[in-house]
Structure 1
């Protein structure tokens, strides 16, 4: 039996009481978030925290087991406080919170993606490096009444990239290009729950139509995949045919493979983060064993215990 322990700091304060923490991290969403739930009262005295904590306070969350030690689960900033439903919730966001600053209105022409990312970083007053795997050029990019966060979100939605902050660097990469740690799960040993469906690539036909708006107002289309299944349309930030085709093929790869779709839920050990790879083992069906890219992880910590729900992306091997 493991003993739960935690260390949570917000601004100048360290939490001494806690109902629950839920942390959601994903390479497919721009921000990682945490929600800290506190009891609304202690010893029949209402908690008054809104005069002690404020938006923009630094947040550090560590938890784990006394027997194995704590892990740094989240660091970021307090975004808002809610007091609905009989308890107090502290809503937190990772360093993407720092990009929620207004940028000057501007129309950029012939701007490379990397130069645009540097402009966003500088425009938000941040001293971050940029690591970008894409190399396209925007014919025209409009910044109008937008924050740096809005610009990054638009870029991510258009190219489907993994976009995240790590060790002082803004990363922008095709899904699965940059991977972190290898994790191992046995469905009979360290998986608490599973919601998995094994599918064959032949049963998941998909056609991807990539569309790009040309300067003259017409639309250029590039198709990838196969007919007879789901049809998906996506926008492309570039009209370069090779770039459009690569974008379409990436989407096909993400959706068609022999392997599992769904999620597994384990305990706090082992640690698992988005962009890790997870190798699944099923002793009853060895042919289903495989390694998958992790797209998101939702971690919960409370008096009832700790657990991680791991969403699987495309199969790596």
Structure 2
């Protein structure tokens, strides 16, 4: 059975739509571990004469909105929604670099000292001062005794929260939602993959928790400059130290547990390749089936998906996170 690849890439500049009629390749990187999803669109060298270059650059510019749809036989899925960040022309190649709603949140936010406060309140402050049409979906209830924002952008603030709490932070650009969740909690959908059916190539390795020993230490400095620390995990394992702002020991424990969870299961680590169908996204639960090794079967949290499209067809590279169950 043969399926014909289709794409629809539309730009919106000053209220005017422009459709891309030719394409060499496109790569979309989406991950709950990154603050932003990105897309790189490459035009073929054969059409890159001066007229085409001038035409593209006159219709598309930094800040233009972009929607990328890919699929087979005109059955298209929206794969990316965002904004043009940059257009480069190197070595006779034109690349359109795109980024999701984080593009908007690289703007400055007013200086403030919030105390006491929590992750949701901090994120809401950022949204209110950059684009109040966004909503905040946050179920990570870590609190700070004090959180200071000084000469920072929205990106800087979200990055600090992510680094200190290990939260999964990402945008649903199409619906204008900023998501903040504990690792591996937000559930987007379900999908099945078989080693014998729809996994085309795999670099997955089956590892046991006993071989992934990690010792996590969280250090917090309170308002008086006193340092408190807690340690969890396996004594003698690989040491990870996380420095956070002033927060309670209970919330420090949540941070430590979040950092430790990815090393506490027997299961696969790595990536595998599939076609564009079935659709899989970060936050999905992917069931992996191996008829030769039943003990390896299980359901895993998808943390990242790289989707690529070119003359050879479409491909998804899926990265697994923790094992959720044995299937």
> TM-score, normalised to structure 2's length?
0.92
Query: 1:26·1:274 contact (CA, 8 Å) conserved in 2?
Result: yes
The one-character-per-residue Cα deviations of 1:48-107 (angstroms, maximum 9, x if unpaired) are 22222111101010011107x111111111111011132000000111212121112223
1:242 to 239, 250, 268: 250
The one-character-per-residue Cα deviations of 1:227-258 (angstroms, maximum 9, x if unpaired) are 13211111234431111112212222112210
2:169 paired with 1:163:
yes
Q: Which residue of 2 aligns with 1:85?
A: 91
By how many angstroms is 1:41 displaced?
A: 4.4
Structure 1 CA distance for aligned equivalents of residues 245 and 284 of structure 2 = 28
2:64 paired with 1:63:
no
Mapping 1:9-88, distance limit 5 Å: 9-11=10-12, 12-42=17-47, 47-48=52-53, 49-66=56-73, 69-88=75-94
CA-atom RMSD in angstroms:
1.6
Query: 1:40·1:46 contact (CA, 8 Å) conserved in 2?
Result: no
The one-character-per-residue Cα deviations of 1:146-186 (angstroms, maximum 9, x if unpaired) are 11121111111111111122333222110111111111000
- Structure 1: runs of 5+ lacking an equivalent: none
Structure 1 CA distance for aligned equivalents of residues 258 and 155 of structure 2 = 25
Of 276-285 and 111-120, deviating more is 111-120
Query: 1:136·1:238 contact (CA, 8 Å) conserved in 2?
Result: no
2:110 paired with 1:109:
no
Structure 2 CA distance for aligned equivalents of residues 66 and 106 of structure 1 = 52
Structure 2 CA distance for aligned equivalents of residues 85 and 108 of structure 1 = 49
2:142 paired with 1:141:
no
Query: 2:147·2:245 contact (CA, 8 Å) conserved in 1?
Result: no
Query: 1:191·1:264 contact (CA, 8 Å) conserved in 2?
Result: yes
Structure 2 CA distance for aligned equivalents of residues 44 and 87 of structure 1 = 10
2:226 to 218, 224, 228: 218
**SS at the partner of 1:163?**
strand
Q: Which residue of 2 aligns with 1:299?
A: 307
Q: Which residue of 2 aligns with 1:99?
A: 105
Instruction: Tell me the number of residue pairs that the alignment of Structure 1 and Structure 2 aligns.
Output: 316
Evaluate the alpha carbon distance shift between residue 105 and residue 246 of structure 1 in structure 2; reply closer, same or farther with a 3 A threshold.
closer
Evaluate the alpha carbon distance shift between residue 266 and residue 238 of structure 1 in structure 2; reply closer, same or farther with a 3 A threshold.
farther
Query: 2:222·2:245 contact (CA, 8 Å) conserved in 1?
Result: no
Q: Which residue of 1 aligns with 2:208?
A: 200
Query: 1:56·1:78 contact (CA, 8 Å) conserved in 2?
Result: yes
Of 73-82 and 101-110, deviating more is 101-110
Evaluate the alpha carbon distance shift between residue 101 and residue 195 of structure 1 in structure 2; reply closer, same or farther with a 3 A threshold.
same
By how many angstroms is 1:43 displaced?
A: 7.9
Of 15-24 and 172-181, deviating more is 172-181
Q: Which residue of 2 aligns with 1:5?
A: 6
Structure 2 CA distance for aligned equivalents of residues 40 and 82 of structure 1 = 13
- Structure 2: runs of 5+ lacking an equivalent: none
Query: 1:41·1:47 contact (CA, 8 Å) conserved in 2?
Result: no
**SS at the partner of 2:128?**
helix
